[in-house]
Structure 1
């Protein structure tokens, strides 16, 4: 029986980003399988976040919470390499593993085996897409050093593994590619389309993009593409942009939308509750995700799972994840994105092709498989 510490600090927020979704779905699937190993879920917050932290009520899962002010906690780890998280979990026994599902301030005793998930290196390749505070945060946590300290690294795509090998010089044998899956809410979902339309004030026909409102998602490029297509389409479409408005460096995005001659056709609907996502996707005519860089890209698979044709970028992990099941475009060329939108909304055979291909492609991804890969990793001496 193993004793495993797990960092769940990214699950303290009332809304979840892709990293939070990854952490929750992976742990949820692991805990369904593993009833024997002991898991110690660690988080730190000066305020009470128990209403947001997921609860797994089974005997081998234990919660360890500290109440330090986060700035003090992180500064102490950065400067003093203290407190050791394994010692906060228990001074009476030694952990066999500590799992970090994302980069964060982490100090561990030397003999603790660490498993670290790296989602992407966007902060390295596109620092201009991050705020000064975020750049300072990434400098402070020292991702390269953390990768060097880890005994095993999980990457969600071959693309991220290549980046780690090429830019951090991490030995390839230390990195295991273990893609994410699709949430169970997308398996035969039941939803009321009219209620979802009313809740989010959705138009009758729309093109959908879902993701945090921040520069890396290339929303300005999508707006430019939408403007180029509007007069060339046989029907009137709106552009619906869903995702947390708590993104960063997004003032220019909102300003560009307001300055658009089609501003009345561009709608930001904010964060979408997880249970509403299947219905939202199913209402869309087309899903467009022209991100400049993704370590995985959960939304493209979610759209495919709901039978929505997908346009996405021809770079980073997205071609790898979508295979032949998405229409790929250069995200730096709004005219190319526009061309894809026109083709998808005027060629019914093409739409049907990508709908069927997407439904087949998404079958390749399963949280059960990812969980089993994770359990194999901790079972290997």
Structure 2
């Protein structure tokens, strides 16, 4: 059984989809199956390091990327299918070629955000991208998604019912070691900060987290800090970074809320190793990989009761009502005052995180690939 894995999108992917694609490629190499021959469209490391289209600074650069992506999906990838004659084509970035192909397709649609949250995307781009997705849902298409919540959401918005399988992904394997100077440079002490890692997209509810943290400090008079690591939202419509910046000035929290920006894998590992708890108030997620990452490092997780996060946490986290600032503040206080609860959450979280291994991830694909 020959399987072609499309990795072209790694040249621009920066967040969850990048992790998904890289870990899928690594797992395919690490856990080979005797009946499956993998063909990668690109070397994952080289394609991920390609800077040709990353961080476009002008409309011309963005247009050039979209043209390159369209050319790949609609012409070059079908040519590669003709050349290698795979039995299965896997497209892990929502879009499969519109052309008819002589093989099965596994198209990964990670979430239903484009349908659920149209206000977060430029109208022209959303219309164009949804059209690409729908045109690629051709004959012999099966959809892979990340959680039961995403599966149910997609069935709601797709006009046609496609075979759909939930495969839980694996977190990124972070390099060993820590960067102790990083904590020192930001005035951080181990076990004395709450953590969030990710973009400042509006759906992440980071202004709510800042407000809840300010209330937490007032009630506890503690020396805790809050770390919000990551870059701006992925579009003007989606970006809450300016609002967070203004909130920090208004609430005089500049020395209490640390914004280190994009950070290295070693710094990510360092922050997880030293965090007291992870705070994840997002109003909408397709999966929520930071929950798994935090739990695997023995960090208790406070998360919104959004369905995907509840599914991934599996009861090992501390759920708060989505969008409820008071509830979030109270749960932060609860964790800071109950050592037995923290110890139990750490234990349960470590067990829950084991379910999301690279081996389980690739075996989910093996089962779908070989079922026919």
Give the distance between the partners of 2:266 and 2:8, measured in 1 at CA: 23
Give the distance between the partners of 1:51 and 1:122, measured in 2 at CA: 24
The corresponding residue for 2:21 is 23
Do the aligned residues in 2 keep the contact of 1:148 with 1:170 (CA within 8 Å)?
A: no
1:261 and 2:252 matched: yes
Give the distance between the partners of 1:39 and 1:108, measured in 2 at CA: 22
Give the distance between the partners of 1:133 and 1:253, measured in 2 at CA: 27
The corresponding residue for 2:186 is 201
1:180 and 2:169 matched: yes
Residue 124 of structure 1, aligned match among 115, 139, 143: 115
Do the aligned residues in 2 keep the contact of 1:221 with 1:332 (CA within 8 Å)?
A: yes
Tell me the CA shift for residue 166 of structure 1: 2.6
The corresponding residue for 1:351 is 342
The corresponding residue for 1:192 is 178
The corresponding residue for 2:57 is none
1:260-296 Cα deviation digits (max 9, x unpaired): 3323311211112223322211211111010011111
CA 1:128/1:320 → structure 2, altered by over 3 Å: closer, same or farther?
same
1:83 and 2:80 matched: no
Gaps of 5+ in 2: 51-62
Tell me the CA shift for residue 136 of structure 1: 4.1
Give the distance between the partners of 2:272 and 2:91, measured in 1 at CA: 31
| TM-score where L is the length of structure 2 | 0.85
Residue 336 of structure 1, aligned match among 327, 352, 365: 327
Do the aligned residues in 1 keep the contact of 2:171 with 2:292 (CA within 8 Å)?
A: yes
Gaps of 5+ in 1: 54-67
The corresponding residue for 2:161 is 171
Tell me the CA shift for residue 160 of structure 1: 0.8
1:155-200 Cα deviation digits (max 9, x unpaired): 111111111223325537x111110123333xxx7423523314x6
Tell me the CA shift for residue 84 of structure 1: 5.7
Do the aligned residues in 2 keep the contact of 1:74 with 1:105 (CA within 8 Å)?
A: no
> What secondary structure, in the 3-state scheme, does the structure 1 residue paired with 2:41 have?
strand
CA 1:242/1:327 → structure 2, altered by over 3 Å: closer, same or farther?
same
The corresponding residue for 1:278 is 269
1:55-104 Cα deviation digits (max 9, x unpaired): xxxxxxxxxxxxx9433345568xxx9426221x2644523221111213
Give the distance between the partners of 1:193 and 1:235, measured in 2 at CA: 25
Give the distance between the partners of 1:281 and 1:310, measured in 2 at CA: 11
* Alignment RMSD (CA, Å): 2.7
> What secondary structure, in the 3-state scheme, does the structure 1 residue paired with 2:75 have?
coil
> What secondary structure, in the 3-state scheme, does the structure 1 residue paired with 2:335 have?
helix
Give the distance between the partners of 2:182 and 2:140, measured in 1 at CA: 44
CA 1:170/1:362 → structure 2, altered by over 3 Å: closer, same or farther?
farther
1:113-166 Cα deviation digits (max 9, x unpaired): 21011111122112223344653453342x345446562111111111111223
1:342-367 Cα deviation digits (max 9, x unpaired): 11112212212211111111112111
Tell me the CA shift for residue 325 of structure 1: 0.6
> What secondary structure, in the 3-state scheme, does the structure 1 residue paired with 2:354 have?
helix
The corresponding residue for 2:281 is 290
CA 1:151/1:104 → structure 2, altered by over 3 Å: closer, same or farther?
closer
